[in-house]
Structure 1
Amino acid sequence: MKANEVLEKYSAGERDFRRANLRGQSFQEKDLSGADFSEADIRGANFKNANLTGTKFCKAKAGLQRRLVIVLLLLSWITSGLSGMCSFFGGALVVLIVRSSGVAEQVYSWIALIVIVVLFAVIIRQNIKGAVALAVAVAVAAAIAVPFAGGVAVAFAVAGTLAVVEVVAVVGSFAMAEALGGSVALAIAVAVAEAVAVAGAEAAAVAFDIGEALALALALAFVLLTMYLGWRALKDDPKNAWIRNLVIGFVATAGTSFYEANLTDADFTRAILKSTDLTKATLTRSCWQNTTKLDQARLATSYLQNKNVRQLLITGNGQDKNFDRLDLRGINLKGANLQDASFIGTDLNRANLENANFSRAKLVQTLLEGADLTGATLTGACIEDWGISNTTKLIEIKCDYIFLKLSPDNAQYTKRRPADQQRNFEAGEFAKLAQRIPHTVDLVFQDGIDWQTFLKTFQDLQVENDTEERPFIQTMENKGDGAFVIRVKVPEKVDEAEYERKFRAEYNAKLEAKDIEIKLLYEQTEFFDKQIECIRKDNTRLMGVVETMAEKETTNINNIDMRDQRGANINMESHVDTAQSVTIQQNDPKQNINEAPDKNLTEAAEEIQQLLNQLSQNNPTTTEIEKLTVVATAAEEIKNNPTLKSKVIHALESGGKEAFKQAIDHPLVDIFMALIEGWREA
């Protein structure tokens, strides 16, 4: 059936295309959702970017078309022949050792043979990549050594190349043969490799007139070694799995393609999926029960890459298996046996878990948002901190009891519910207990909570809410170790995911701003502490000067010669006034300032006060940062006004800091004075 015919019938409302021959047909970017292609031949069909939601491919046969299979099989046998030729050259080395009479030729042959053996050992113990790295190193060494020991270097390079090429060729050919035709093609590939190696060894033996046994033995030894490595690669040996994956990816490009297709709810039960490309396909709730050759499909980065997960999907049996912390979003485990399985930290969001048996399973911190657990069995399961939401379906759950806590060693369950060991849940009781109240958002704070920032964020979002009903805090739970869970009830019209995202964004932004404010305040506090210390030192020095001046004036009065001074012109008033002035200053500095104010100081203080009043009216001064900002702005404007700055400095020098401070009537004067203290020294 041609693609156009299928599309016409589909447009007319027909959905039944069972057992249709669709080999090589293209349905790229077409909508075939809900169609039934059960038992159809879809080898080589192109479903790239197609919408196949809910489409059935039960017992369908995917893979390569026959003509492509023949071409690729021939390619596989050619690479097998290449491997046999490499084995032949290995036998030829022994021939050279036996036949050659020259010492140099024998040395070169022995070196080459040893290099081959070493590389085979590296491949077996590590992987082909390690052998390639060693071969490259040998080649570089050979290139450096050629001017000094050309024959030895060449022997190293040739031997390394032969060993690596032989192994890669045989592993690649075996993987391709297995991917294409299974055991028959693989047997043919082995036969080709053996035939070429044996024929070459026999020819070498006759040509060099030596015994056949020696050449045949070495050639067959190389063949057997490469066959062993090929067999290990086919068995998913992780050391050399990359070659197998590379071959499967190459073969799948000519097979059935579901590249970037939407396979949501698609059914591949009992389908043959050899050489199928599933790269970037949407596999949400796709069914893979009893499929064959799924491991020979190109699986890319989907959950199908995991061997244990593939087996679970195919067999439906995951009992006692460990699936901890895997990304299994959208997986279809309908009816699966998952007793005693572990899903700690596993993402099962939007998964189909209908009728699955989770008896005694570990569902600790398992994500189940949007998952369907209709009819599932949860008796004896541990559900500590599992992630369900109002989108999680807990309909007709079979559950006698559950546990809320897992011991640190993951060995024991505690905190049984119901707590009474003699009682089990009644029908529907567990669902009511476990199901979250609709239209709620759980805000989890793992590393503690800043309550001031939280309340400010919560209030801001309440104001932004357009609905008549506003969000409110429903419950607060202390999880221990500083962790809190706050459940917020949101209006029905509010999108829960959007509310949580917006709350997180605003809370984190406010928290970051607060951290910056605290840091700046700390830095300013350190600055003010230093300024206060300097002021105290200056005041101490000032009091010392005043005391010294007072002592000097008293000394001058006491040293007056009281003998006959009638003819002398003594200015007693000057001395007395000076001493009195110093005494007044020491006892009451404010009295002296008020009695004789400096005109320049008064003018400068009035201008500063006016500037601070103006800035305070136009800018907020609630927080410490806002106050510092206003004062810093005022200081900057004064610096940019040379006349005013000169007045301020003169006022500080003539009247002193305290007098200037008393002349400015503003709540920010203390911060301002600390900021300009250093101007007198500048």
Structure 2
Amino acid sequence: MPPDYSGQNLQGRSFKGQDLTGANFSKADIRGADFTNATLKDADFSGAKAGLQRRWIIGLLIAALLMSALSGFFSIFIGILLTYIFDHQNSENFIIGVVSLVMVAVFCIVTIRKGVIAGAGAGAGAVAGAGAIAVAIAVAIAGTVAGTVAGAFAGAFAAAGAFAFAGAVVVALVVAGSIALALVVVVAGSIAGSVAGAFAGTVSFAGAVAGAFAIAVAGVFVIFNAYIGWRSFKGDERDPWIRSFAIAFAATGGTSFRGADLTDADFTGATLKNTDFRNANLTRTRFYEAEKLDFARPGNTILSNPAVLNLLITLNGRNKSYIGANLRGANLIGADLKEANLKDADIIEATFQGANLEWANLTLTQAVGTNFTKAHITGACVEAWNIESTTILDHVDCRFVYLLEYPKPETDDRERRPSSGEFQPGEFTKLFEEVLNTVDLIFRDGINWQAFINAFKKVQVENGDTELAIQSIENKGDGVVVVKVAVPDNADKEKIHSDFTQNYQLALAAVEEKYKAELQAKNNEIVIYRQQSAEMTEIVKLLAKKPINVQVDNKVENKNMTNDSSRKVEIGSIGGDFNASGQALNLGEISGTVTNTINELPSAPEPDKPGIKELLTQLKIAIESDTDLKPKDKEKALKQVKALAEAAQNPQEKQDLADTAITMLKGVVSNLPTAAKLVEECGKLLPIISGFLGLG
């Protein structure tokens, strides 16, 4: 029976590496507890209190106090440097004041606009410019050098002070949990640092005005640093590293789930500030209404994305954008995602049980192993979403869906399913049953078919000769092509998808290198041809000076026009042969060759049941008569029909040839309009031909 720790005080306890599957920690005090590398599947942490123990809170507040004191120390020194601007009797001191003022001003302006790091860089670049200004004013080389050095110190103090104080503010706010207490700590520290800086500098201010000015500058700089710290605490994108550093620092000594397996664990209503989730397995972990989770250390988990973190806590994603978001394993039971944009999001192994996904955009989502039980999906767009047998679509509430994100050109057709009316209970699931055992291969810049075939065969070998068959090829427009590959029920679809992606990229690179080499060779041939053409010009000039004798021989020959190669006009010349035969003649020759190859096959024994010979003849006629197919594509398609006819002569030994030909034909057809007659014919004939050739 799983252990029950509900309501207990477990502060500082170590559960490191233990198997606590199903354990009950509800409403327990787990501050400072160590669950590193523990197995906590199905564990209940609802209402639990995680974070820092009191002694760690005190220690971290002292650290924040010291950081703010350091910032105050730097601030008073900046004020002291700026007071030199009032010393008009000493040109060197005056230059120090001017350069320091320019440096600090540039740093502050750029920091407000772009962040501390950008401000430090801009301030450093301003030192040289400030030195030049000082030279023009005082014409004192020694003073310029001193001013430049002083400016560098001023910039360094400003940057260090800003980081120290901003970090102190964020640490104090994260640890203390009270704005008032955090302000007391950082203000007290900065005042103490300023006083210490004044004494350490042993400065005798040149009059009351200069002294007041130095103190005022220090005060202004403290307020400036407090502003930087506050906006970092609120998650401002200009200085995210300050907040990340402070949260990581504040999580020291807090509750640790580092490397723990929290699959299906429940943190509903738990307090989770100063908690370490680095490298934890958060598959379907429940964070609904968890408190202070944004002050936890997320590492590389899905909690690192603020938008996703907010969704996990509130379950409210209505009309929000999660394009390309990492939602792998997210627990979104009952979430409101109506009209949300989840295009290209990774929702593998996530759960959307009972969630509202009406009118959501699920285009290109990766939904392998995703649970949609009782989800509401009416009006959603499911174009090219990747689902398979582990995707759960039980009892889905759906009246209709769309298969296209955008309408077809010059229409409002988004391929609604069903085309009219509404799904009856269970029909939505039935519609997608045929694609549950498929892997979708999505190509966004078209397909190189040579690389595709090489990768496809390699994936079959790498996966133990798993039976893979191309189910469909869809041209989505804008260069996007989706190839659906049918796989067995027990196939590792994620591995197949990953293997193919990797092998396709390798094969594509190899093909491109080959093309580059061929192109270079062709360029070399062109250079040689041009050189030889120049030589031929000289020969022609010489021959033109000589008499020409013409001999005409007439010969009469009988030739079979089906295979008459004399119809080609070939021009032989130095540097290569150029074929000037027309496309129509080429198609005629290929058509005749295909006919001869098909005629070598036996006819069907029963006239009313066409065999492979009759089917290939129908396919050949459909290709030749199609008006949407370009002559070049017709030539390619007819060559594949010839390959199928050759494979039909010995199907057992030539399955690879047949498989490649079928794939190439589908690729040619994929570029045609869906209403093209050839598309319909291929959709009807190719599956039957595949069956005759033993391809499934």
The TM-score normalised by the length of structure 2 is 0.65
Among 87, 92, 104, which residue is 1:116 paired with?
104
- The correspondence of residues 291-330 of structure 1 with structure 2, limited to 5 A, is 291-330=290-329
Tell me the secondary structure at the aligned position of residue 416 of structure 2: strand
CA distance in structure 2 between the partners assigned to 1:375 and 1:429 by the alignment: 14
SS in 1 for 2:403: strand
Query: Displacement of 1:105 after TM fit?
Result: 2.5
Q: 1:171 aligns with which of 141, 166, 188?
A: 166
**More divergent stretch after superposition (221-230 vs 375-384):** 221-230
Q: 2:69 aligns with which of 75, 81, 94?
A: 81
Q: In structure 1, how many angstroms separate the alpha carbons of the residues matched to 2:365 and 2:392? A: 15
2:374 paired with 1:386: no
Give the SS at the match of 1:217. Answer: helix
Partner of 1:418: 418
Quote the residue 2:146 is aligned against: 151
1:371 Cα deviation from its structure 2 partner = 0.4
Change (3 A) 1:392 1:413: farther
Question: Is residue 2:54 matched to residue 1:58?
Answer: no
Per-residue deviation, 1:465: 10
Q: Alpha carbons of 1:318 and 1:487: their partners in 2 closer, same or farther (altered >3 Å)?
A: closer
Answer yes or no: is 1:430 the counterpart of 2:434.
no
User: How far apart are 1:41 and its partner, in Å?
Assistant: 1.6
Deviation at 1:281, TM superposition (A): 1.4
Contact 2:68–2:193 (Cα < 8 Å) also in 1: no
- Distance in 2, Cα, partners of 1:85 & 1:175: 19
Please state if 1:132 is matched with 2:120: yes
1-structure distance, mates of 2:522, 2:224 = 75
Is contact 2:387–2:438 with CA below 8 Å preserved after alignment?
Answer: no
Does residue 70 of the first structure (1) align with residue 58 of the second (2)?
yes
Distance, in Å, in 2 between the alignment partners of 1:71 and 1:414 is 61
Q: What residue identity is the alignment partner of 2:158? A: A
Deviation of the 1:152 alpha carbon? 1.6
- Please give the alpha-carbon distance, in whole angstroms, between the structure 1 residues aligned to 2:524 and 2:91: 84
Q: Does 1:232 align with 2:231?
A: yes
Change (3 A) 1:208 1:224: same
Q: How far does residue 276 in structure 1 lie from its aligned partner after superposition? A: 1.2
User: Whole-Å Cα distance in 1 between the matches of residues 17 and 484 of structure 2?
Assistant: 44
1:92 to 80, 83, 88: 80
Cα distance in 1 between the residues matched to 2:120 and 2:93: 26
Separation in 2, partners of 1:293, 1:448: 46
- 187, 208, 226: which one aligns with 2:183: 187
Equivalence for 2:36: 48
CA–CA distance in structure 2, aligned partners of residues 463 and 150 of structure 1: 72
Quick check: 1:390–1:436 contact (8 Å CA) kept in 2?
no
CA spacing shift, 1:489–1:403, aligned 2, 3 Å = closer
1:72 Cα deviation from its structure 2 partner: 1.4
Would the aligned equivalents of 1:84 and 1:192 in 2 still touch at CA under 8 Å? no
- Compared CA separation, residues 191 and 493, structure 1 to 2 (3 A): closer
CA contact (8 A) 1:49 1:262 kept: yes
Counterpart of 1:34 in structure 2 is 22
CA-CA distance at 1:87 after TM superposition:
3.1
Query: Map of 1:474-485 to 2, 5 A cutoff?
Result: 474-475=471-472, 477=474, 479=476, 485=482
CA distance in structure 2 between the partners assigned to 1:481 and 1:88 by the alignment:
61
State the Cα distance separating 1:446 from its structure 2 match.
5.8
Task: Give the unaligned 5+ runs of structure 2.
Answer: 136-140, 540-545, 554-696
1:151 corresponds to which letter in structure 2?
A: A
Q: Which moved more, 1:338-347 or 1:101-110?
A: 101-110
For 1:414, give the aligned amino acid.
R
Aligned equivalent of 1:342: 341
**RMSD across aligned positions (CA):** 4.7
Q: Name the CA distance, whole Å, in 2 between partners of 1:462 and 1:399.
A: 36
- Residues 102-111 or 506-515, more deviating: 506-515
User: What's the offset of the Cα at 1:317?
Assistant: 0.5
Alpha-carbon separation, structure 2, partners of 1:321 and 1:42: 34
Contact 2:74 2:197 in 1 (8 A): no
Deviates more, 1:173-182 or 1:143-152: 143-152
Q: Equivalents in 2 of 1:19, 1:491: separation in Å?
A: 49
Bigger shift: residues 409-418 or 281-290 = 409-418
1:565-614 per-position Cα deviation (integer Å, ceiling 9, x unaligned) = xxxxxxxxxxxxxxxxxxxxx9xxxxxxxxxxxxxxxxxxxxxxxxxxxx
Partner AA of 1:435 in structure 2: E
Instruction: Tell me the residue number matched to 2:591.
Output: none
The code of the aligned residue for 1:31 comes to D
Using the alignment, how far apart are the partners of 1:447 and 1:339 within structure 2?
31
2:458–2:503 Cα contact (<8 Å) kept: no
Deviation at 1:206, TM superposition (A): 9.1
**Residues 1:367 and 2:362 aligned together:** no
Query: How far apart are the structure 1 equivalents of 2:217 and 2:254?
Result: 39
Q: Would you say the 8 A contact 1:91–1:201 is kept in 2?
A: no
Q: Match of 2:112, SS?
A: helix
C-alpha distance in 2 between matches for 1:515 and 1:73: 60
CA deviations on 1:416-456 (whole Å, 9 max, x unpaired) are: 22222xx2221111111133455444555666667799789
Separation of aligned partners in 2, 1:209 and 1:52: 68
1:330 maps to a residue whose letter is G
Q: Aligned-pair distance for 1:525?
A: 13
Instruction: After superposition, give the CA deviation of every residue in 1:19-72 in whole Å (9 maximum; x if it has no partner).
Output: 222222222222112111111122222222221222121121111221121111
Question: TM-score, normalization: structure 1?
Answer: 0.67
Q: Are the aligned partners of 1:95 and 1:205 in contact in 2 as well (CA < 8 Å)?
A: no
2 CA distance for matches of 1:199 and 1:457? 71
Q: Which amino acid aligns with 1:210?
A: A
Distance 1:17 1:459, change over 3 A: closer
SS in 2 for 1:264: coil
User: After the TM superposition, which residues 254-265 of structure 1 pair with which residues of structure 2 at under 5 Å, given as runs?
Assistant: 254-265=253-264
Asked if structure 2 preserves the Cα contact closer than 8 Å seen for 1:138 and 1:160, the reply is no
CA shift for structure 1 position 166: 2.1
Q: Is the 8 A contact 2:381 2:403 kept in 1?
A: yes
